[in-house]
Structure 1
């Protein structure tokens, strides 16, 4: 009797689950939410300001995880003058944030000259680090006339899409500096502007991303982004590297597994891994050549970036030659030099598409005018003093 009752109750429960799933589309299951910690960095500022204006920067740090955390954030401002030069650094007071709680920080910065300025935000929270960059421009205002033209025909329906080529698994040694490449492909039919990168990684890593911001990525075009990782202070193990790519129209999030191995002498490094590294650099050289060729067709001056590319290409060729001659120490040095050159190349290529309207300086013209006035006044005074009065002219 007990066995029949048990079977009857089981049939009723199973029938209830089937009917419930058919009526609602859902099945009753038990869900376990895993604890995690993360922060979201939000910046609010003017993209373009006039020379006489003050830039107000509002920084919001939100606890986007489900555990309470402690965070400390640094905001730095750099100016682009051939290279990035740090102008000022602000330290946000440390704070303890509960889930979904937001901490605010306001900064007022008065630029001293026109040009391109970068904002770097770096947040440390419970052993992890998150970093992002943004950019704004300081310009001298110009006057222009608004010419009304006939409205063009309606364009086709726009759609934005960004595809990213990257390696999902990276293996590196503690004594190694690794170059990670992301290739951004705009496969939509509209340009993508102001592409920012939010990099989240264990705080024991040292890293740098180039370019910091992509100002303009035209449709059917590509942009190479290089991320350099240094694991000299990292314990062996697997670490998640999260990169969120945000533009004015699309948002992509990728995750890379970084496997850090213990340090080994150069002679014990896996030669197949070293060979694959050379092939990766050769592929990057090829992609950079393609990108530079596209810029040349668009009418950009590629002389500077082409010199950098050729220098990197020479280093990669030397690395290949030294590998064949079993000079592995030299291979690592060649690839390290190529990495530095490619970082500069990626940064310069992004800035090629940067257009800033700067009015000509009229100071020189004013100086010339003042000098001419001084000469005229001096000549007039000289003539006035040397010329005799009219009453005495007839006496002579």
Structure 2
């Protein structure tokens, strides 16, 4: 790869590896394929883990193709090219299995030299990720590294007898004790991550929980099922957030926003995106307010000022909602933060305005309205008081 392309690839690949625990390899040396096979193959029934197959798909430059390979264990590899360099993502899984499923595969391929313990140990070492999410990831990686790359077509290549391998029992799911135990473990890790304010760990465990629900079918769902799933997740997160010490009024505000988005969503992807956004917002709030050591009352007021600055906030109405008097709210807020609620709100609004001034071409009236101030002249006056210069001069200085 060119130096500039390689730098972009390294950054993007590193992010994907860190977040999804996926291997991403560029085969640019002769001995890499053999090392890759030795590292990732557990049994010779995995047909694509051979030098012949991997050489076939990595040595013939096909710029418009993404190969999606599936072996007898329902393990996958994705292969595509960036500037004639073959990139391999995986191995990974999109399915979970029980001992009954393993016996079906072992019988189908007459496997006698591999124990089920080793088989499940191998599968559990691989990341679980939805096929649709994987392809979005690949598309983003390619677009980031090579924006001018031609549109790529996905070609599925199966190294198994699909009809014989997938029995009808997969559709009914009578034996799922192992899956429930695994899901319980993921759920506990998910709750613990929320309580710590660790959004990355929480979302990772959420993905694993969602994979469990899909059993051995290709991941897919209906809009109504996802709404139900989002409600269950929302309840779990709410309880974990309250247990972490986040004020109830903040919990209700974030939760209500997700409820509204989920109810109006027109696609499964919208619901999944909103669910992850909710988790990040909860974790950010937990992480932030744990560090600040403020009282519940002040934490609640700070959340309103930091996240709803664009609304017409009346301090008296906020005090009523928090079930305290206006004077008490002002007194406690000043004691803990060193400033009044109105002053903090103004600073929060002007901070957001400064970001818009330096990053957009919005007019003064548009920026003023977007930070909760209807009068542009008053906005200019407040901004100049806090920053020592007019919004126009600020924009000119930071965009020159």
TM over 0.5: no
Higher radius of gyration, 1 or 2: 1
Report the TM-score range of the alignment, normalised by the length of the smaller protein.
under 0.3
> Structure 2 length normalisation: TM-score?
0.25
**Greater strand share, structure number:** 1
> Structure 1 length normalisation: TM-score?
0.25
**Greater helix share, structure number:** 2
